[in-house]
A and B are shown apart, each in its own frame.
Chain A
Amino acid sequence: MADDPIIRLRGIRNQFGAQVIHDNLDLDVMRGEVLGVVGGSGTGKSVLLRCIAGLRPPQAGAIEIFGRDALNCTETQRRAIDQRMGVMFQDGALFSSLTVRENVEVPMRTLPGLDGRLCRELADLKIAMSGLPYIAGDKYPSELSGGMRKRAGLARALALDPEIVFLDEPTAGLDPIGASAFDELINTLSQTLGLTVFLVTHDLDTLHATCDRIAVLAEKQVLYTGTMAEMLHIEHPWVHEYFHGPRARAAVEATERTA
C-alpha cells in the first residue's frame, strides 16, 4: 500500500442550520486501502460520504481527490473526478424503470465511442463479478431481494472501473451468510481491482473481515484512525464500548476462529 493519500480532507465543516455535524474534520484515505468509517447514529457518516462524493458541498474546508482540488474546480474537472469514483447507496438506488443490466450500462453510455454490444457484455461481466446470476441482468430492481439489489448497486458502482468506491452500509439488512459473502466480495474486488474502498458501516463483522484501517467519527471529528488491533486499546469511553461490547467480542472471536 502506497503512502500517498488518494483522498485528503482538511478542516471540513458541515452543518444543517445551527446544528454542526462536522467541525474542523481531517481525514486521509490511502491508495488501495479499505477504510471503515464508524460512529454512532447521527455522527454524520453518510453526510461525510455524500460530502466526498460531491453530493453535498461542505460549508468550509478543503477536499482533495487524486491530488486535485475537488471543491474549487470546473464542472468538467469535477466530472473527471466523479468518473473515477463509484458510489453504492444503501438500498442500491437503482433506476427502477431499467433492468439491472441497463442500470450497469448507464454509466458506460456516458463514455464516447463504446458500442452497445460491448456495453452489454461488459455489464454482464460486472454483474457476474458482483456475484449475481446471469438471469438477474434481465430483472427489474423491484423483482430482486435486498441483498441482490445491493450487489446490483455495486455492479453499477464498478461499471467504469473506478479507483475509489464508496459503500454506504453494504451489509445492513442482509442475513449473516449474505453479509459475509458480501464481505468476501469486497475483499476480492479490492485486491484484484486495486480498489480504494471507503466503507460506512455499523457491522463489526464487516469491519473485522474487510477493513485495513478504521476511522472513528465522534465529537464532530475523526477522533481516531488505526487498525482494528489499535482500536481495541483506545481508552475513549464510546470507542471502548463500541469495540468491547458484547457484539464486538462475538465478532472478534469469530474472526479469530476463522483465522
Chain B
Amino acid sequence: MTTSTDPDFDPRTGHALEEARLARADEGWTLEGMLTLRSLSALLPDLEHIDGGKVQIDVSRLEKLDTAGAYALLRLHERLAREGGGLQIEGLSRDHKALYDRVTQSLPEPPETVPERRSLTDMLEALGRGVASAGVFLAELHAMLGVFLARLVRLVRHPSEFRMTALVHHCDQVGWRAVPIVSLMGFLIGVVLAFQGAVQLRQFGAEIFVVDLIAISILRELGILLTAIIVAGRTASSYTAAIGSMKMREEIDAMRTLAIDPATVLFVPRILALLITLPILGMIANFMGLFGGAMMAWIELGISPGMFLTRLLDDTSLNHVIVGFVKAPVFAIIIGVIGCHAGMQVGGNAESLGRQTSSAVVRAIFAVIVADALFSIFFSMMGI
C-alpha cells in the first residue's frame, strides 16, 4: 500500500494527471495519450485548429477515452462535416468504438429556443400578477383567520376535542422560553429612554418629566410593540418551520386521511398559545422597561425609586396601559395566522421551506407595525 507520492496524481490538488497529445502525421493527425474530461480542456484549442475538409485522425495509440473525449471527437466531426468535409477516425479499439457509438446515439438534440424578449405588455402583466397575488394572499390570510375562529367556536361546543397538552406545550415554547429575551429587551429599552430623556430634559430643568416620558412611551407603545416584534421573529418562524416540514413530508395529508382536522390540531393550539402568552410577555416587558428606566433615572438624575413610583402612580393615566394591552391580542392573531399560513404554503422541497420561513417573519413584523400605526391613528382620533 502506498501512502507516499503517487505518480498518477497531482500531489497538491489530487487531480489526475492525464494528458493527450495531438501531432501531425503523414496523413492527417495522430492522437495519443489519454483523451478524458481532465485532459480535454488543454487539448481543445489544438482541436479547434484542425480544419480543411476531410481529415484523418489516427487514434490507435490512445490509451484511454471517456465520454467527454468521445464527445470532443464527435463535435470535431460535426464541425468538419458542416464545413463540407468530415473526420475519419482510424484505429479505434473495440471498447472505444462501443463508447463512441454510444455517445453518438445518445447525443441530445436541443430544441430550437426562441430568445425571450420582455415587452411592455409583459411588464404590465407581471405587475398585474403581482397585485392579484397580493390580493389572493390577503384573502388567504382572512380565510385562515376564519378557519381559526370557526374551529374555536366548534371547540367551545365540543370541549373534548380540545388538545390541552398541545396548548400547554406551545405556551411553554412561545411564552415561558421567550421570557429572558423579552425581559432583557424591556430593561434595555427603559435604560435607553431614561438616558436619552435625561440628556434632553436636563436642559430645561425638567428632569422629573423623564418619568412621564418612560411611562407613556413604554406602556402605550414600545413595550408591547417590541415584544410583538421579537415574538414575530421567534414564533412565526418556528410555526412556519414546524407546519411546513409536516406539509413537506405529507404528514398533513396523512392527518386528513385519518379524519384529523389539521386546523384543530395544528392551528388552534398555536394561535391560542400566542393569544394567551403575548399579553403576559408584554406585561413583563412593560414592568422590566419601567424598572430599567427607574434604575437609570436614579443613577443619572438622582430621582429615587420612591419618587419615581409616586410620580408614576399620580401622573400616568391608566388609559395608557389599556391602550397598550388592547393591541396585544391583535398582534398575537396576526403573528399566529401569518406563521401558520406560511407553513401551509410550503411545497415539496426544502428550499421552499426556507423561503416561507423567512418571508413569514418579514410579513409578520411588517403586519404588526402596520397594525400598530392603525391603532395609533384610531386612538388619537378617539382622543384616548
**A: which residues have CB within 8 A of B?**
62, 64, 68-69, 72-80, 83-84, 96-97, 108, 111-115, 118, 121-122, 124-129, 134-135, 140-142, 158, 160-161, 188, 191-194
**Residues on B close to A: CB < 8 A?**
1-3, 6, 9, 11-16, 36-38, 40-42, 44, 66-68, 71, 95, 98-99, 101-103, 106-111, 347-351
Of the residues B3, B38, B101, contact of A111 by C-beta under 8 Å: B38
Q: Within the assembled complex, what's the spacing in Å between the Cα atoms of A126 and B103?
A: 9
- State whether B102 touches A69 (Cβ < 8 A): no
Given A114-B41, A122-B71, A193-B99: A134 touches B109 (CB 8 Å cut-off): yes
C-alpha gap A160/B66 in the complex (Å): 9
What are the residues of chain A within 8 A of B348 when measuring CB–CB?
142
Q: How many whole Å from B249's CB to the nearest CB in chain A? A: 13
| Residues of the A chain whose Cβ atoms lie less than 8 Å from the Cβ of B3 | 69, 72-74, 77
Q: A77-B14, A142-B348 are in contact. Are A128 and B66 (CB under 8 A)?
A: no
CB of A167, distance to nearest CB on chain B (Å): 18
A73–B11 Cα gap in the complex (Å)? 12
Q: Are A142 and B98 touching (Cβ within 8 A)? A: no
Complex Cα–Cα for A47 and B9 (A) = 29
Q: Within the complex, what minimum Cβ distance (angstroms) separates A64 from chain B?
A: 7
- Nearest Cβ on chain A to B36's Cβ, whole angstroms: 7
Q: Complex formed: what's the CA distance from A241 to B1 in Å?
A: 40
Q: Is the CB of A76 within 8 A of B12?
A: yes
Contact of B108 among A62, A74, A97, A128 (CB under 8 A): A128
| Chain A, residue nearest B103 (CB) | A125
B66→A125 contact, CB < 8 A: no
Across-interface contacts of B41 in A (CB, < 8 A): 111-115, 118
Q: Name 14 extra pairs, CB < 8 A, besides A112-B15, A121-B71, A191-B98.
A: A64-B1, A69-B2, A76-B12, A77-B6, A80-B16, A112-B13, A115-B41, A125-B67, A125-B71, A128-B106, A128-B108, A161-B67, A192-B98, A193-B99
Give the chain A neighbours of B110 by CB distance below 8 A.
124, 134
Interchain CB contact under 8 A, A96 and B16: no
Q: Do the beta carbons of B95 and A129 come within 8 Å of each other?
A: no
With the chains together, A76 CA to B13 CA distance in Å?
A: 6
Q: How far is the CB of B109 from the nearest CB of chain A, in Å? A: 7
CB distance from A173 to the nearest CB of B (A): 15
- Residues of chain B within 8 A of A188, CB atoms compared: 102
Contact A129 B16 (CB under 8 A): no
Pairs of residues from A and B, 6 with the lowest C-beta to C-beta distance, nearest first: A76-B14, A161-B66, A113-B41, A79-B14, A69-B1, A142-B349
Q: Are B42 and A140 interface neighbours, CB within 8 A?
A: no
Chain B nearest CB from A92 CB (Å) reads 12
- List chain A residues, Cβ under 8 A from B347: 142
Evaluate contact between B108 and A127: CB separation under 8 angstroms: yes
Our pick among A68, A76, A140 for the contact of B2 (Cβ within 8 Å) is A68
B40 and A114 contacting across the interface, CB-CB below 8 Å: yes
Given known pairs A72-B3, A128-B106, the reply for A96 and B36 (CB within 8 Å) is no
Looking at the complex, which one of A76, A112, A122, A127 makes contact with B11 (CB distance below 8 Å)?
A: A76
Q: What residues on A are CB-neighbors of B37 within 8 Å?
A: 108, 111, 114, 122, 160-161
With A114-B37, A134-B108: A80-B6 Cβ-Cβ less than 8 Å: yes
B44: A residues at CB distance < 8 A: 118
The distance from the CB of B43 to the nearest CB of chain A, in whole angstroms, is 11
Contact A80 B351 (CB under 8 A): no
Q: Name the residue on B nearest A194 (C-beta).
A: B95
Q: Are A68 and B1 in contact (CB under 8 A)?
A: yes
Q: How far is the CA of A76 from the CA of B8 in the complex (A)?
A: 13
Assuming the A-B contacts A77-B9, A115-B41, A192-B99, are A122 and B68 also in contact, with contact meaning beta carbons closer than 8 angstroms in the complex? yes
